[in-house]
Chains A and B, each alone.
Chain A
Amino acid sequence: SQTIHQWPATLVQPVGSPLSLECTVEGTSNPNLYWYRQAAGRGLQLLFYSVGIGQISSEVPQNLSASRPQDRQFILSSKKLLLSDSGFYLCAWSVGDEQYFGPGTRLTVT
Chain B
Amino acid sequence: GQQLNQSPQSMFIQEGEDVSMNCTSSSIFNTWLWYKQDPGEGPVLLIALYKAGELTSNGRLTAQFGITRKDSFLNISASIPSDVGIYFCAGSRGSNYKLTFGKGTLLTVNP
Contact = CB atoms under 8 A, between A and B. Distances in A.
Contacts, number: 47
Chain B interface SS verdict (over half): strand
Given A42-B103, A42-B104, A97-B31, A32 B97 contact: yes
B73 interface: no
Contacts of A97: 30-31, 33, 48, 50, 92, 94, 99
B84 to A, nearest CB: 14
Contacts of A99: 33, 45, 90, 99
B27 to A, nearest CB: 15
Contacts of B33: 97-99
B60 interface: no
Interface in B10-55: 30-31, 33, 35, 40-45, 48, 50
Nearest to B35: A101
B88 A44 contact: yes
Measured as residues with beta carbon below 8 angstroms from the partner, the interface class of chain B is 20 to 34
Contact of B101 (A43, A102, A103): A43
B80 interface: no
Contact of B104 (A43, A90, A92, A106): A43
A101 B43 CA distance: 6
Contacts of A43: 101, 103-104
A35 interface: no
Interface of B: 30-31, 33, 35, 40-45, 48, 50, 86, 88, 90, 92, 94, 97-99, 101, 103-104, 106
11 contacts: A46-B99, A49-B97, A90-B43, A97-B30, A98-B48, A99-B33, A99-B90, A101-B35, A102-B42, A103-B41, A103-B42
Closest 4 CB pairs of A and B: A101-B42, A97-B92, A97-B31, A42-B104
